[in-house]
Amino acid sequence: MKIKNVIIISLDCLRADCIQANPDKQLLKKYNTKIKLKTPTLDWFVENGVFFNQCITVAPYTTPAHASILTGVWPYNHGVIDFFRNKLKAPTILSILKKKGFNTLFQTDYPFLLGSNLEFTDRIDKFVVEKEKESFVWLKENENKPLACFFHFASIHSPYGFFNLKYGGNDYRKKVKSLLKKYKVISDIKANDGQHFITGDFTEEEKLLKQNYLKVLDKMHKLGLYDEIMDLYIEGINYFEKNRFRLFIKNLKRLGLLENSLIIIVGDHGETWDRNNKGHGRGDLEDGLAEGIIKVPLIFYGSDLPKGLLNNHQVRTIDVVPTILSILELKKEKESFDGCSLFPFEKQQDGLIAFSHAWHSDSALVTIFMDEVYKKGKMGKAGFDSYLASASVRTDKWKIVQNYSVTKKLKKVRFFNVDKDEEEDFNGTKVSNILSQKINKYNEITYKNFTKRIKPINMEEKEIAKKLRELGYNV
């Protein structure tokens, strides 16, 4: 097929089942939600494209997940393994296409996590933070050239739907005020700069709004109001769809980019609230690789691609890049991938194994590091350790989850029937033995590559972290 442009759209924190057009609502049904999903724009792409509703991500947090989406390799091959302290060392699809004559654009809502600090912007012609208008000016100026673009949206993240005052405005203010009142939470009156979730270019009001929003979520979690939190999450998805995403797609269409482009829509991780999880990456990390977190949407759309094709087989986010290159009929040349091409889409993909890792770091030490990088404007050596808290290996039907202590000691192994989303002990079977060998080998390679970059903790920073925790930061 003839394609002029490639546009990758990342919807950070979107679960696969939180697109209304996805018929598989098995995981979502465990919540007694009152808010109905309203995702007409996403539904249109599902109905007019190829939708993989069993796509598995490599990690439950932004940086390694995006690194694998953009490179087509496992974290141990691209280098971004834990939270965000290691730089990307594998070529991205944008850098590959740049060599093929494409002009490249990279837009992100999280420049700290997906930017030059981690070398995500290698060979990028235009780097944009948040401002779609700025991106569309560049797209218009370069409309006669082949374009390779990446758009990252974080509005589905908490505070769900709002992200900042630019996109939430008075709706955001009113929402936080109503939540504080409804759940009888005393509003903080001063933003705490030492908390990593508000590091960056936020106004004092935005810092305080997010701080109070998360304070409400913490109380709701303590009260076990998981259904109500998921209502907030769904409400946020609807808000993003209506107030930001719909206009974005409308502007793509206005420039004719829906007619001659390959468009990929993908999530980096999902969101789950229950007894063990406080969203993604928070709470009991032994359950940090729950299905609602690691299962993300993947959609391919193009004028010549099949329309309304639903694929229920397991695929991985590492398959995105090989699939793009296959559709474009470009040779791999020197690039090698851990993922495989899913094209032609009519062919069913069987036997694809998916690995996911959740790593843990001291959040107070992470805060110190993030503040230091933000102030200096460049990446330095991290002064904190990380350890593998949870690892999973998954097939279409089975999943094994292994949990570890800080000393790498295996604490617990759980077995799941993916079809039923239930624990089912198949330990000792042939399938169990094969999957256990695979996850152990994956972990071995990861540790070998990762430990080369670990720096011992600075004791002064460790004492600062201790004091931050005593003040209630990052707990």
CATH of the domain at 60: 3.40.720.10
Both 359 and 397 in a single domain? Answer: yes
Does 208 map to a domain? Answer: no
Rg of the chain (C-alpha set): 21
Question: Is the domain of 454 the same as that of 388?
Answer: yes
194 belongs to a structural domain = no
| Domain that residue 371 falls in | 354-470
Q: Say if residues 48 and 347 touch (Cβ distance below 8 Å).
A: no
Evaluate whether residue 201 is within a structural domain: no
Q: Supply the pTM of this predicted model.
A: 0.93
Are residues 59 and 113 both part of a single domain? yes
Domain membership flag for residue 280: yes
| Per-residue pLDDT at 457 | 45
pLDDT of res. 459: 47
Residues 240 and 316 in one domain: yes
Q: Do residues 390 and 455 share a domain?
A: yes
CA 338 to the chain's CA centroid:
19
Residue 348's Cβ-count burial label (10 Å; 0-12, 13-18, 19+) is: exposed
Residue 68 lies in a domain: yes
Residues 296 and 410 in one domain: no
Q: What does the alpha-carbon distance between residue 13 and residue 271 come to, in Å, rounded to a whole number?
A: 6
**Residues of the chain above pLDDT 90, percent:** 72
Specify whether 453 is located in the same domain as 380. Answer: yes
Question: Are residue 369 and residue 323 in the same domain, yes or no?
Answer: no
**Assigned token pair, 417:** 């029937």
In a shared domain, residues 139 and 81? yes
Rounded to whole angstroms, the Cα distance separating 309 from 346 reads 8
Task: List the chain residues with pLDDT less than 50.
Answer: 454-457, 459, 474-475
Are 442 and 296 part of one and the same domain? no
With respect to residue 337, please indicate whether it lies within any of the assigned structural domains.
Answer: no
pLDDT at res. 251: 97
Residue 187 lies in a domain: no
Q: Is residue 129 located within the same domain as residue 249? A: yes
CB under 8 Å to 279, separation ≥6 — which residues?
158, 217, 271, 272, 273
Tokens 């928070």 -> residue: 282
* SS3 category, 154: coil
Residues 271 and 368 in one domain: no
Q: What is the DSSP string of 333-380?
A: TT---SS----STTSPP----EEEEEEEE-HHHHHHHHHHHHHHTS--
pLDDT tens per residue across span 93-152: 999 999 999 999 999 999 888 988 889 998 899 999 999 999 999 999 999 999 999 999
- The phi-psi region of residue 200 (left if phi > 0; otherwise alpha if psi is between -120 and 50; otherwise beta) is left
Residue 169 lies in a domain: no
Using the 3D structure, point to which of 327, 362, 388 is the last residue of a domain: 327
Q: What CA–CA distance (Å, rounded) separates 48 from 295?
A: 21
> Residue written as tokens 């998954």?
394
Name, in order, each residue with C-beta under 8 angstroms of 322's C-beta and a sequence gap of 6 or more.
72, 332, 337, 339, 340, 341, 342
Half-sphere exposure of 48 (CA within 13 A, CB side): 16
What is the predicted pLDDT for the residue at 128?
97
- pLDDT per position as a tens digit, 154-200: 999 999 999 889 999 999 999 999 999 999 999 999 887 666 555 56
Give the three-state DSSP class for 139. Answer: helix
**Rounded distance between C-alpha atoms, residue 140 and residue 138, angstroms:** 5
360 backbone dihedrals φ, ψ, rounded to 5°: -120, 140
3 state SS for 2-66: CCCEEEEEEECCCCHHHCCCCCCCCCHHHCCCCCCCCCHHHHHHHHHCEEEEEEECCCCCHHHHH
Tally the domains of the chain. Answer: 2
Mean pLDDT, the chain, integer: 90
Pairing of strands 278-279, 315-316: unpaired
